[in-house]
Every structure is written in C-alpha cells, then in structure tokens.
Amino acid sequence: MPTLTARRVPTARLTQHILEDASRDAGEPVVFVHGNVSSSAFWQDAMLALPERYRPIAVDLRGFGGTDPLPVDATRGLRDYADDLMALLEALHMERAHFVGWSMGGGVVLQHMRDRPAMVRSLTLVNPVSPYGFGGTKGVDGRLNSPDGAGSGGGTANPDFVRLLAEGDRGETSPLSPRNVLALCYVKPPLRLKREDEYVEAMLGTRLGDDHYPGDSKPCEAWPGTAPGTRGVLNCLAPTHFRLDDLHTALAAHPVKPPVTWVRGEDDVIVSDTSLFDLAHLGAIGAVPGWDGTPAQPMVAQTRHVLALYARVGGRVREVTVPGAGHAVHVERPQEFGAALLETLAEGV
C-alpha cells in the first residue's frame, strides 16, 4: 500500500511542511492546497487514491500546520501564499504541475494560474472562494457594497470560534467548537468522518492573531461596522485586497490555457450564495442585528461568471456539482471527487 511521509522543505521564502509519496518522485506532480483553518492533512485520502503515474504533494500554507508562521501581508491578497507555492516548486525542481485547491486554497491556485499560467498543467477547484474574495460584494461582477470593504475581513470572524481554537478545544460542548464546525459546516450532517480526530487537530494547528487568523480589522460607518485591515488571513480574502477581475484578460493571449474543473458540494454552507459565514446573509435571516438590506454575496454565481469569461477566451471549463455534499467534497465523497480529478489530470496541457 502507498504511504505518505512528511518533511519540511527550505525554500527561498520560508520553510514549508509537505506530505508526499516519496516513492513516486518520477511521476507527474499534483500539488494539493488546503483551505482556511485546516492543513495538508485534509488531502491524505485523495493523495493515496491517485494512480502510480502521479506524484502527490500537499503543502501547509504559511501559518498552518508545520509551515513557518510568517506574517500574512493582506494588502497583496493571496499572493503571499501563491508566491510561497512558487518557491516550493522551485525548491522541488518542478517546472510544471497540476494544482488542486480547496476553499481558500482554490483562490491561491487561481492566483498562481493568473500569474504563472505556463507552470499549470491543470487546475481543480474544490468549493473555491469567490474570485472576488469573501464578503462585502454584490452581483456576479463583485461590486463592493462599500468602498472600504465593509462586511469582510478580520472583524467578521466569530470571536467564540477564535477563542475555542486558541484554547485547543477538542470537544462538542459548544456549537462553535472546531469539532462541531467541522461536523456541521465543513461536511453535510449527519456525516461524521473517519479521520475526524485528525482533522480537528489540523484545525487546531492554525496560527492565531493579527498576522494570521483571523487578522486585524478597523471600524467603519457602513453596516455591519467592520472593514478589512491589512494583516492576516481573512483580510487577504477581503475584496479590497483579493480580486481576479482580470483572470480572463491576463490569460487571453497565453498560447496554452490550462483546463479548469470546478467541483462543488451542492449543500455547501460556507461558500454559497447564502453563506452562513457571510454577515449580509446572516443579517437577512436575523442572526446579525441591525441589518440594513445589504445583499448577500452570490459566491457561486461569481465563480461561475469569472470561469465563463475564461472559457470565452479559450479556456476549458467544467463544473461538477455533487448533490448532498457540503464544503469538503474531497473527504465527504471521495469517489466522485476522485473521478472528476482524474478526468482533469488526463486533460492537462
């Protein structure tokens, strides 16, 4: 049976922790990038399921798992992470690879493709963050609700969830414990995962604070009274810092356009047009007081819009919807995810 090993790889930017199957060093590289409040541990089963011709590698992003906790400069959007990814490939002497990104990791690999398309053989997105960031926008074209990005950034994190992460809570007493957030939001209930304990430990490996999760924030006049800061994870996802409006124009003239497959759980409550993590939607349902009518962010519609623009300039795009699945399709429905991934890898340029 194939096995995964862990090691830390020094790069030009920082030392990064990876999982890999070291016996496949001659295979086509497939690089897996995790989402927010998680780590490479969430990719283990998907990596082990790959055929022998592929070389699976999963990386911990900075401030997660075993990678150096360098500060995140949110004013660069997701480019700190994307540039770290580039440095890892250089350290591993890889000129090109397939990339798989989940949630925030989907935004990281999209940014990487936008900046370095020649290095991308294919792209598989798993419930990716909207190309217009998380929170604070409306419409399929990602228009800001407020010029300062109100409703997004570090101030939108639930303080009780952050506190329980800091306390290393492994229980189920609070509905906002990492274990309950995993069971109720990462996957669709009533599913409980075989690797649940490992995933909870991965969540607890998230580095906390203004430079990491959730990041800093600043008060503002517009509802809900918080706007993005300049540091940390949720701010690098704010629409004032991360936007891929120009994805299609940046790749239009590129001679080879990587195929993109978008795999999404139909019942995802995190990345959704009615996200339970979007303050505007929570305001609309009465969970956040003082709602002023600000519309919820149409996250799925925005991703579909940006990928359609990429298809118009010649990119190959496929959307795979998995009924009855939530945010972590790759761990909830490994067979459907694996089939979609293998088809994409076979189409790689």
pLDDT digits (tens, 9 = 90+) for 228-238: 999 999 999 99
Closest to 124 measured CA to CA, from 140, 108, 139, 138: 108
Residue 144 has pLDDT above 90, yes or no: yes
pTM: 0.98
CA gap 119, 94 in Å, rounded: 9
* Number of residues assigned to the chain: 349
CA gap 162, 167 in Å, rounded: 9
What digits encode the pLDDT tens for the residues 197-243? 999 999 999 999 999 999 999 999 999 999 999 999 999 999 999 99
| pLDDT reported for residue 2 | 67
Half-sphere exposure of 172 (CA within 13 A, CB side): 7
Structural domains of the chain, with CATH? 5-347 (3.40.50.1820)
Helix (H) or strand (E) holding 63: none
